[in-house]
Chains A and B, each alone.
Chain A
Amino acid sequence: MEESHASAEQTASEYIQHHLTNLQVCRDHGEWVWGHCAGNFMTVNVDSMFFSAVLGLVFLFFFRKVAKQATAGKPTKLQAAVELVIGFVDGSVRDAFHGHSKLIAPLSLTIFMWVLLMNLMDLIPVDWLPMAAAAVGVPYLKAVPTTDVNVTFAMSISVFILIIFYSIKMKGFVGFTKELTMHPIAPPTKGIGIVFAPFIIAFNFILEGVSLLAKPVSLSLRLFGNMYAGELIFILIALLGLYQLPLHFGWAVFHILVVTLQAFIFMMLTIVYLSSAHEVEH
């Protein structure tokens, strides 16, 4: 491996490439191999899976612990923090969601806290976790799961499935198809114009289809792009030697805003999309 304390012959480009490579395991001709997974479909990014699972469990553990020991008399600081978060998510859901659902508030809380925790991994200094992993013999480690496009697409595709499920559940299959084909131009049903109806329906379907598909794609690429660019800038600043310290600090302070904002936006857009999936006309 090219990154080790013994050889200081690593170029800047190799350093960057090393920090942008996931720990991959893939099935090559029936055998599970570590690395050399370019172009292989049966590949698992082990580091992203590990960190996202661990952070999800951390979130669940702390929130459950606070919920079990919640007291109105003398709340602990952790309980106060958790109450703050839950109050914030509750307020956001009440503002933006105009339907009846038992799923939306826990879903929003999970999305917000999980994305926030995964994004906060970006604030750990660039070399610490990969060096610790290299000491144990793990060649590559990317500590921030949301810089992995697979993780963000997994979350947004799950939200997309929920959007379609609730659209069909609330409006029926017919209503859902009507929404896709009869908006924005209502096809004429009487008179001579009926000849044009198939073309108008096709046109509507293309417009609405693109708009529907843009939701999960933009949701995931927004989060991925922000996090990937942030991590890349951290890595680039780390190449500057001693001058990195003030720059790292400045960028990290700005990145705290970006991290929280992106988690909030993911949650907010999920709520808005699910709200429009729940709304039945007339």
Chain B
Amino acid sequence: MDFVIGMNLLAVALLIGLGALGVGIGMGLLGGRFLEGAARQPELAPMLRTQMFLVVALLDAIAMIGVGIALFFAFANPFIV
């Protein structure tokens, strides 16, 4: 049982951490492209910003689904009696 609890914690940490890693890199690239585009054509900046937030929320989804599953295992793991 200790082993299962230990592995459970490890799984939760990996879920949240790897999700954050991927999303962090993705958002960094996205923000960089947005800044480049806004520097190139400042009058388009508001429109680009709206689209950027759209993609940010879509990227968030993947990280959040991982966090949701991780929190489920953290608090209500069905394998731990």
Contact = CB atoms under 8 A, between A and B. Distances in A.
Q: Do A and B bind each other?
A: yes
Interface of A: 17, 20, 218, 221-222, 224-226, 228-229, 232, 261-262, 264-265, 268
A229 B71 CA distance: 8
Given A224-B64, A261-B53, 8 more contacts: A17-B75, A221-B61, A222-B61, A225-B68, A229-B64, A229-B67, A261-B57, A265-B54
B58 interface: yes
A25 to B, nearest CB: 20
B71 A228 contact: yes
B68 A229 contact: yes
Interface string B53-81: 11011101101110110010001000000
Interface size band for B: 10 to 19
Nearest to A229: B67
Contacts of B71: 228-229, 232
Listed from nearest, the 4 A-B pairs whose CB atoms lie closest are A225-B64, A222-B61, A225-B68, A265-B57
Nearest to A13: B75
Contacts of A225: 61, 63-65, 67-68
A112 to B, nearest CB: 13
A108 to B, nearest CB: 15
A222 B65 contact: yes
B61, B63, B75: residue with the most chain A Cβ atoms closer than 10 Å: B61
Contact of B65 (A218, A261, A262, A268): A218
Nearest to B64: A225
